Structure 1
Amino acid sequence: MILITGATGFVGRAVVRRLAAERCAVRCLLRPFRYEQRLPTGILFSTVSASMDDLPALRTAMQDVTAVVHLTGEEDLVEEGTLHNHARDTVNLTAAAQEAGIHRFIYLSRLGADRASAYPLFRTSGEAEAAVRESELDYTILRAAVTYGPEDAFTNVLAMLAKAIPFVMPIPDTGLARFQPLWITDLVTCIVTTLDRDDLIGQTIPLGGPEHFTLEQLVAQVLAALGTRRRLVHVRMPLMRGLIGLFDALLPRNPAPPWWLDLLAVGSATELGTIPRHFGFEPARFAQCLDYLRRKRPWRRDLVHFILHRR
């Protein structure tokens, strides 16, 4: 039995689908949210509800479990307090796994994770990594680049904003920050493969796509996939932080939450070729996987729905 956290997020749903397709026994650990949780449909898996603060409930959730895959999707970061609590949750999860006698533990982190970072997004990921390393588990940490796909909260939000704002597309002035977008199918392949790779125990492996982009180049690719022309307008980061902070205070769900600016300021890239070297396959190129943006959609209506609904 494989226990999955973050199963309701973009990456989590894809991991559950893949494991179920490979006939693995899957159990999804769900936190008691106030909002509807999106789980995959049409496949066989079990669920258990437990707060990350409830160690007895976590131990119960781990009965008959042989491996844990600990995910935190970008969607989860918009929930109040989740970013702040993630490192503490990881400490509790690793402790419960050790007490339950589980050995294999996969943690999906992010490129740039550093417990000394000035940016909360990367600092909390670095603190969570430290908790995993300090445990006695047979862990592997996968540091992923920004991940994209049909259900993501990155390229889809860029597309909604591009369609909703006429004539121009405001983007933060991110300077030399680089991005290495990773196709969701490739990330899932790496995660699932790692479960059976004892040679990766104790390692921290960076994962990224086959290309480096500036933010401007990445947005241009999204606009090209949409068949939309917009003039890119660079906005200084302090002004962008102020605007996003205002949106965060006023809107039920901010399409560009504050953690976005941490990601955009630091970037999300590593050296090219890490996936071929560690996993033996070539990851997909960004422009070749954007067909989901080319489909006719009511983008403006989708943006309104996104803002007004937590899930």
Structure 2
Amino acid sequence: MILITGGTGFIGMELINQCLDSSRPFRLLIHPEESTPKLPKGVQFDAAICAFSDERGLKAVLQDVEAVYFISIADQSTANLNLQQTEISEIESFTHAAQQAGVNRFFYLSHLGADRASAFDLLKAKGIAEHIIKEAGIPYTIIRSSIVYGKGDVFSENLARWIRYFPGRVPILGDGNVNLQPLWVQDLVTCMLWAMDMPSTENNIIEIGGPEYLTLLEILQIIAQKLRKKRSFFDVNTNQLQRWLRLIRSLHRDFPRTAYWMDYFIENQICALDSIPRIFGINPARFHQNIDYLIPQTKGI
């Protein structure tokens, strides 16, 4: 059996769906602070509610678990979270409990650019978490992913709302030439599951991304075209963009649905274009092929 954390986020939900499709037994760990978790309907599965700080509870949850898929939802929160007190402390207690429970494999979803010395809180927290996992004494696989998109994400859906908010000219950070490598959520999760059966991924850090490098400006243009919105874009600096964000948040408190949204657009987040075909034998989808979910079903941003 595998244990899934963060299963109520958009990546975790895709992982659950693929486990159901392939009849892989799994247990979903739900944090007690999740007031209305999104759960699959019409299917039976094992679920447990436990705080990551409850070591005794974690030991019970980890009973009969062979592998853990740790997906954090801390970086998908609108709150200004202290990642030192959330993700890092959760990883510390979780890896300790997993080691005592005899878990055979620990999968951790990280980000390209993760580094304990990073100037960006999100990437620094991921780097520290990676170090804790490597030192825990459990066979691990760390997957550093490029930015992930799909229905319910905090990347493309926020950009679509950003475009719809401005009727003519849309502000863009810098010159929009930061390079990204969007990865479709289904391709990411397929790699995560296949890695379990690949000995070469054990005790290894794997960097994967989509099949193309796109600048932020190119991504915005693709989304605008999908939305059938004619837009031009103008450069702003970080302070100016923050002012625009404060204005939008005063009108729409759930925008941009993550406290670390801007971290994705400040520096390049890319890896080898052939990473997924070379490692997993999969040809990942191009960004424009799977973004019909961005077409709004109702009015508003």
TM-score range, shorter chain: over 0.9
> Is the counterpart of residue 125 in structure 1 residue 126 in structure 2?
yes
Counterpart of 1:53, as a letter, is: S
**SS at 1:78 equivalent:** coil
1:254–1:77: structure 2 CA closer, same or farther, 3 Å change rule?
same
Q: After the TM superposition, which of the residue ranges 58-67 and 33-42 deviates more from structure 2?
A: 33-42
User: Shift in Å at residue 175 of structure 1?
Assistant: 5.8
Question: SS in structure 1 opposite 2:178?
Answer: coil
Structure 2 residues without counterparts, runs of 5 or longer: none
**1:253-289 C-alpha deviation (Å, 9 max, x unpaired):** 3326441111111232112110011101111111122
Name the SS for the 1:114 alignment partner: coil
The structure in which a higher percent of residues are helix is: 1
Question: 1:217 matched to which residue of 2?
Answer: 218
Q: Secondary structure at the match of 2:262?
A: helix
Distance of 1:126 and 1:149 partners within structure 2: 25
Query: Judging changes above 3 Å, is the alpha-carbon distance between structure 1 residues 63 and 246 closer, same or farther for their aligned structure 2 residues?
Result: farther
1:25 to 2:25 alignment = yes
Identity, in percent, stands at 34
Q: Which amino acid aligns with 1:44?
A: Q
Please say if 1:94 is aligned against 2:95.
yes
Question: Is the CA contact 1:241–1:258 (under 8 Å) kept in the aligned structure 2?
Answer: no
Contact 2:79 2:258 in 1 (8 A): no
Relative to structure 2, which stretch is displaced further, 266-275 or 170-179?
A: 170-179
1:200 corresponds to which letter in structure 2? T
TM-score (norm 2): 0.93
How far is the alpha carbon of 1:91 from its aligned partner?
1.3
Secondary structure of 2:160's counterpart equals helix
Cα pair 1:145 1:182 within 8 Å, conserved: yes
Corresponding residue for residue 15 of structure 2: 15
CA contact (8 A) 2:76 2:257 kept: no
Q: How does 1:111-260 map to 2 (within 5 A)?
A: 111-173=112-174, 176-244=177-245, 252-255=253-256, 257-260=258-261
Q: Mean Cα displacement is larger for which, 128-137 or 261-270? A: 261-270
Decide whether aligned partners of structure 1 residues 245 and 227 sit closer, same or farther in structure 2, where only a CA change above 3 A counts. closer
* In 2: Cα distance, 1:66 partner to 1:56 partner: 18
2:99 counterpart letter in structure 1: Q
Residue 170 of structure 2: SS of its match in structure 1? strand
- What is the CA–CA distance in structure 2 between the aligned matches of 1:8 and 1:174, rounded to whole Å? 35
Q: Secondary structure at the match of 1:266?
A: coil
Tell me the residue number matched to 2:289: 288
- Over 3 Å counting, the alpha-carbon distance change for 1:74 and 1:52 in structure 2 is closer
CA distance in 1, matches of 2:280, 2:109: 16
- Going from structure 1 to structure 2, the CA distance change for 1:9 and 1:75 (only over 3 Å counts) comes to farther
Q: Report if the CA contact (8 A) 2:171-2:241 is conserved.
A: no
1-structure distance, mates of 2:69, 2:176: 35
Show the counterpart of 1:55: 55
Q: Do the aligned partners of residues 2 and 155 (structure 1) sit closer, same or farther apart at CA in structure 2, a change above 3 Å counting?
A: same
Partners of 1:291 and 1:249 lie apart in 2 by 28
CA contact (8 A) 2:211 2:286 kept: yes
| Structure 1: runs of 5+ lacking an equivalent | 304-311
Deviations 1:118-166 (A, max 9, x none): 1001000101111111111110000111111122222122222322321
Any conservation in 2 of the 1:6–1:72 contact (CA below 8 Å)? yes
Deviations 1:202-236 (A, max 9, x none): 11011100100111011111111111111112221
Q: Deviation per CA, 1:4-47, whole angstroms, max 9, x where unpaired?
A: 00001010000011011111111111111253211222333221
More divergent stretch after superposition (3-12 vs 237-246): 237-246
Q: 1:53 to 1:247 in 2, by over 3 A?
A: farther
Residue 75 of structure 2 contacts residue 260 of structure 2 at CA under 8 Å; is this kept in 1?
no
Note if contact 2:76-2:259 (Cα within 8 Å) is conserved in structure 1. Answer: no
Cα distance in 2 between the residues matched to 1:169 and 1:41: 39
Pair 28,291 (structure 1): closer, same or farther in 2 beyond 3 Å? same
Q: How many residues align?
A: 300
**Helix, strand or coil at the partner of 1:297:** coil
- Separation of aligned partners in 1, 2:239 and 2:195: 40
CA contact (8 A) 1:160 1:299 kept: no
What amino acid does structure 2 have at the position aligned with 1:16? I
Q: Is the 8 A contact 1:225 1:291 kept in 2?
A: yes
